[in-house]
């Protein structure tokens, strides 16, 4: 048996827009996602998350599901426009109450709350009035919002994440235009990434100055990265895989853990990559108390040729033409319904890459999971492929741990089926099936399997 350390954190993750529903109830303001889903053709089947999994109304029932699983921790996100309907200014007391009640209930059940401040649902007013993440002033709005959260929840929260996956928001929301705010640009993603880093740093600086010493929490941000395996062992392909990881994870992790953007990005992007002045470098560097990683899949990487690299948003990508990398898959690899490859060794190699490059940080896996076609039958969903995915990925996490990587948690995406952004409700990642017509939760066999893993603290 593979046993995990006693204090290892087994969790599940969700996000506000994807599960809550109640999009315009109890004083909540609109977010860019509430608007984006109204544009015909943007979302599969023109689904919207107006109701989603109705978690806003079923929160207590959902905490019971967590109790049944035996979760040690639960990662959720706070909806900014539920707290500040106009992004700034007046606080919505009902919004505060909702998250405050959730946190109290979790603590009562011995589940550690792991809130994320921003999981992409920017208040619409900040997009209309301020151009959202394109404007450096966003950092001040972020700080005001974060302050409200620290003030109201920080007495009970020991782990904060500021941002979820700035990479995806920048590339998909400002590069490919397939997520909110739906913009297509070659240059905006790098500007948006820059403003994310400065906003994150400003929030962390504020937390450390004003709250950390009395609230005793830790703070970081969740970065996503998939593994890039060199297609061949030629020096060109090995370098291409390394460069791809630098453009993916290094884009955000290098400034925070090492002090500046990777050389490969500066070289390939030139003027298109903003730069930090010395003051900015100083507040960005060291602005994370631990490393939080979201990871799903792996692709082969090979040296690309300048004139025929194809940018494909659906392989977890960025702009390969900037990276000069070609991605491909092994036809033998299994795939999820996201068309993502199931390659368990990828998580182990990535954990080692982070361990080495960033000088042995504590690493928390804050998302990992898979979507498959699930169908309920006789009150349960049989999902052997999800169980196989989880078994293999968690085994590789354990391998990394026994090789010395300081892995501290595994949060499974997701507790419930939910609104999968541009894919609407067509992709199911949950341990619990959601019947969107009735809101009913139906257990999947993977939930029973995960419960056992948590109970014996291993597999």
The DSSP bridge pattern shows strands 298-303 and 227-230 to be: parallel
289, 343, 420, 449: residue in contact with ligand PNW (rule CB under 6 A): 420
61 catalytically annotated? no
Alpha helices in 84-137 (DSSP H): 93-108, 124-130
H or E element at residue 409: strand 407-413
92, 127, 162, 164: residue in contact with ligand PNW (rule CB under 6 A): 164
Nearest to 161 by CA among 119, 193, 120, 122: 119
- Shortest separation between residue 371's beta carbon and ligand PNW, angstroms: 7
The site string for ligand PNW over 391-410 (x = CB under 6 A, - otherwise) reads --------------------
**Cis geometry, peptide bond prior to residue 414 (ω within 30 degrees of 0):** yes
Other beta carbons within 10 angstroms of residue 22's beta carbon come to 18
Q: Which of 165, 188, 396, 420 is catalytic?
A: 165
Q: Which is nearer to ligand PNW, 348 or 428 (CB)?
A: 428
Footprint on residues 302-341 left by ligand PNW (CB under 6 A):
316
Q: In whole angstroms, what is the distance from residue 140 CA to residue 152 CA? A: 19
Footprint on residues 217-236 left by ligand PNW (CB under 6 A):
224
Q: Which is nearer to ligand PNW, 96 or 342 (CB)?
A: 342
Q: In the structure, how many helices (H) and strands (E) does the chain have?
A: 18, 17
Q: In whole angstroms, what is the distance from residue 240 CA to residue 301 CA? A: 6
177 binds ligand PNW (CB under 6 A): no
The site string for ligand PNW over 356-395 (x = CB under 6 A, - otherwise) reads -----------x----------------------------
- Range in contact with ligand PNW (rule: CB under 6 A) among 65-73, 161-169, 376-384, 451-459: 161-169
The DSSP bridge pattern shows strands 363-367 and 291-294 to be: parallel
Widest Cα–Cα separation across the chain: 62
Find the residue with minimal CB distance to ligand PNW. Answer: 316
Q: Which of 188, 246, 367, 396 is catalytic?
A: 367
Binding site for ligand PNW (CB under 6 A): 15, 18, 164-165, 168, 224, 294, 316, 367, 413, 420, 429
């Amino acid at each position: 048996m593979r046993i995990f350390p006693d204090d290892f954190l087994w969790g599940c993750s969700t996000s506000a827009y994807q599960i809550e529903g109640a999009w315009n109830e109890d004083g909540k303001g609109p977010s860019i996602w509430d608007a984006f889903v109204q544009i015909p053709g943007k979302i599969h089947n023109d689904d919207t998350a107006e109701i989603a999994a109705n978690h806003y109304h079923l929160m207590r029932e959902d905490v019971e599901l967590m109790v049944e699983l035996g979760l040690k921790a639960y990662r959720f996100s706070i909806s900014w426009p539920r707290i500040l309907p106009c992004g700034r200014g007046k606080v919505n007391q009902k919004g505060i109450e909702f998250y405050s009640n959730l946190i109290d209930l979790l603590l009562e059940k011995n589940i550690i709350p792991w809130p994320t401040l921003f999981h992409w649902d920017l208040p619409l007013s900040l997009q209309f009035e301020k151009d959202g993440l394109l404007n450096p002033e966003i950092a001040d709005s972020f700080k005001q919002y974060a302050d409200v959260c620290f003030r109201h929840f920080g007495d009970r929260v020991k782990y904060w994440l500021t941002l979820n996956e700035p990479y995806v928001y920048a590339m998909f929301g400002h590069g490919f235009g397939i997520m909110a705010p739906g913009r297509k640009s070659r240059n905006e993603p790098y500007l948006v990434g820059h403003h994310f880093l400065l906003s994150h740093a400003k929030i962390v600086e504020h937390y450390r100055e004003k709250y950390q010493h009395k609230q005793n929490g830790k703070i970081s941000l969740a970065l996503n990265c998939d593994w890039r395996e060199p297609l061949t062992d030629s020096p060109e392909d090995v370098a291409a895989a390394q460069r791809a990881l630098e453009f993916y994870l290094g884009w955000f992790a290098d400034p925070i853990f090492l002090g500046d953007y990777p050389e490969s990005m500066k070289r390939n992007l030139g003027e298109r990559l903003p730069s930090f002045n010395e003051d900015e470098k100083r507040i960005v560097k060291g602005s994370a108390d631990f490393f939080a990683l979201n990871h799903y899949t792996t692709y082969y990487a090979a040296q690309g040729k300048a004139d025929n690299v194809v940018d494909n948003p659906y392989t977890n990508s960025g702009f390969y033409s900037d990276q000069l990398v070609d991605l491909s898959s092994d036809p033998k690899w299994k795939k999820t319904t996201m068309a993502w490859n199931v390659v368990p060794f990828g998580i182990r190699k990535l954990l080692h890459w982070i361990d080495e490059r960033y000088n042995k940080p504590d690493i928390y896996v804050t998302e990992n999971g898979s979507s498959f076609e699930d169908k309920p039958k006789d009150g349960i969903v049989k999902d052997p492929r999800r169980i196989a995915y989880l078994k293999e990925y968690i085994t590789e996490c354990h391998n990394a741990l026994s090789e010395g990587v300081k892995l501290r948690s595994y949060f499974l995406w997701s507790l419930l089926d939910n609104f999968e952004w541009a894919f609407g409700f067509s992709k199911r990642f949950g341990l619990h099936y959601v019947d969107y017509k009735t809101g009913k939760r139906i257990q999947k066999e993977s939930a029973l399997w995960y419960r056992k893993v948590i109970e014996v603290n291993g597999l």
